[in-house]
Amino acid sequence: MATSRRRPSRRPAPEGRRRPAPQRPAEPGPVLELDVERIAHGGVAVARHDGRVVFVADAIPGERVRAQVTDAARDRFWRAETLEVLGASPDRREHVWAEASVDRAPEDRAGGAEFGHIAMRRQRELKAEVLRDALARMGGVERDVEVRAVDPALAPGVDVEEGTGWRTRVRLHVDAEGVVGPYAARSHRVVPVASLPLAVAELEEIAPLAGGARRAGAAAEASSIDLVAPSGGRAELVVHAARDRRPEHPPTVVERVGDRSFTLDRGGFWQVHRGAASTLTLAVQAAIDADRFDPDAENQDLYGGVGLLAAAVGDRFGPSTRITTVEADARATEHAGANLADWVGARAVPERVDRYLDRLAGATDGATRGLRGATVVLDPPRAGAGRTVVDRLAELRPAQVVYVACDPVALARDVATFRAHGYELETLEAFDLFPNTHHVEAVARFAAIV
């Protein structure tokens, strides 16, 4: 979420192509008939067997399935995978990715499209249920929320109704025998595939898939293969050998959002959905309360990457807006400085967010007072901002905080911490930036209740 998200992607540490991948348990557990009750965080459904919770993959609430237990090591719950659907939900459809279908053996199902068997409308409803539940249980907030599809006008070439053709970045893996493909679901076993329906068309055309003419050459001596389709250039296939090191000056690509261009490292972080950067730009701009915004305050863009959301703030409030973007990755920060050159009040700081906030908290009274009228935008990793960052940020008392979140549980934990400091959740919007997966993006605004 999907992929993993959030900070600039880095190649895996050298590990050798012949390191054995994790395997499923040699001794399978029992086969059960289960009535599926609800969806859980992580893309699995919840059923019960003799009072024990069973998390079952590839099922939909309301269905009855026959499932193989794959993990019975815990007393409180088991994990299982659907083998057969005995009573299908009206929301079940033919999987958008044939190689991930329940018709295949569980160990051969491609990972990364765990909701692909569910109608799009129902997918978004389930994601909203998970977000609402997390906010209520962990954040102490009862909040209705709707997960909205990406506006087709922001995502040319994407099939919004099918949830396909949206991924602009795909990583394929290469096993010891040279097989190219994604990992199987919940595994590090490479499975060959003949299609990549979630990828944009440009990537499907160049992907070295099973039976393709490019397969053997692309896989030679490779440990992984990245497919990248930037909006500002041609699609590229990048082969990584096991002993590759990150070059001192990596190749760059250009991404376009509206009339603006953003330069970043080809392997650096960028939102993977073709329409995500534009969607989040508009959502963050809308989330900021203009009555609380002071263009002369020490406004902040934390976990800022290459400056996308700092630019969103500047575009809404004008080129003289003061804003500091903070990012631990030095290369991303270097690009952010160049990407924000239009704003005379913008600066880019290469530093970890927690250390940066510690410095602000220890600064002179003048600097601290400057943050008191500020607007803070933050887009943390999947694990969330966390207590240390939220505690420090709340201590600095900004006027408002706009939080971009890609994990409902992490957001809910941070909601609880903000509330403990007197910052309440005022607005919340959610977007389906990862169709056919369980991932969801949310944009929240917090403000201190006086």
The tens digit of pLDDT for each residue in 230-275 reads 999 999 999 988 766 777 789 999 999 999 999 999 999 999 999 9
User: Does 271 count as an annotated binding residue?
Assistant: yes
Q: Which residues are catalytic?
A: 406
**Taking the domain 128-153+257-262+270-448, which CATH number applies?**
3.40.50.150
Q: Is the pLDDT of residue 9 over 60?
A: no
Any idea what the Cα angle at residue 21 is, between residues 17 and 24, rounded to 5°?
165
Tokens of 114: 């765990």
Q: Is the pLDDT of residue 370 over 60?
A: no
The predicted pLDDT at position 4 comes to 38
User: Does 81 count as an annotated binding residue?
Assistant: no
Burial group, residue 27, by CB count within 10 angstroms (0-12, 13-18, 19+):
exposed
Gap between the Cα atoms of 195 and 200, Å rounded: 11
Q: Model's pTM, two decimal places?
A: 0.91
- What is the distance in angstroms between the CA of the first residue and the CA of the last residue of the chain? 37
Residue at 84: amino acid letter = E
User: Does 327 count as an annotated binding residue?
Assistant: yes
The predicted pLDDT at position 249 comes to 82
Q: Is the pLDDT of residue 283 over 90?
A: yes
The predicted pLDDT at position 446 comes to 98
Where along the chain do its domains lie? 31-117, 128-153+257-262+270-448, 157-247
Classify 404 as helix, strand or coil: strand
Average pLDDT over residues 199-217: 78
How confident is residue 368, by pLDDT bands cut at 50, 70 and 90?
A: low
The predicted pLDDT at position 14 comes to 32
Architecture of domain 157-247 in this structure: Beta Barrel (2.40)
**Taking the domain 31-117, which CATH number applies?**
2.40.50.140
Give yes or no on whether 128-153+257-262+270-448 and 157-247 have one common fold. no
Supply the DSSP symbol for 90: T
The predicted pLDDT at position 214 comes to 45
